[in-house]
Amino acid sequence: MEAPQYVAARVQSALAEDDRTHELGVRVDVRGDQLFLRGQVGCEERRELIADVAGEAAPGLVVHNEISVVDVREPGGEERL
């Protein structure tokens, strides 16, 4: 069986290099047959594409998409320097 570290590395590269994602800031962890994705993206569509690309790079693993959609709040108070 392939070591989980190599599977995680392959998924991470796929997320960075696949035209559908180009996401560099996703944390990928493999535990047994479970694949965990963590990080933040701009919208729901991108969140789902990440799970698609990850699933294709690691067929047979159960993908847990724990990526959250970054919530752009109203600008807050300024900082005085």
Task: State the residues that interact with another protein by CB under 8 A.
Answer: 19, 22, 25, 39-40, 42-43, 45-46, 70-81
* Closest CB to another protein among residues 6, 33: 6
Calpha distance 47→60 (Å, rounded): 20
* Closest CB to another protein among residues 4, 18: 18
Residues 6+ apart with CB under 8 A from 34: 61, 62, 64
* Closest CB to another protein among residues 25, 62: 25
Residue type, 52: D
Rounded to the nearest whole angstrom, what is the least distance from the CB of residue 6 to another protein in the complex?
Answer: 16
The edge-to-edge listing of strands for the beta sheet with 27-31 is 27-31, 34-41, 62-69
Rounded to the nearest whole angstrom, what is the least distance from the CB of residue 28 to another protein in the complex?
Answer: 12
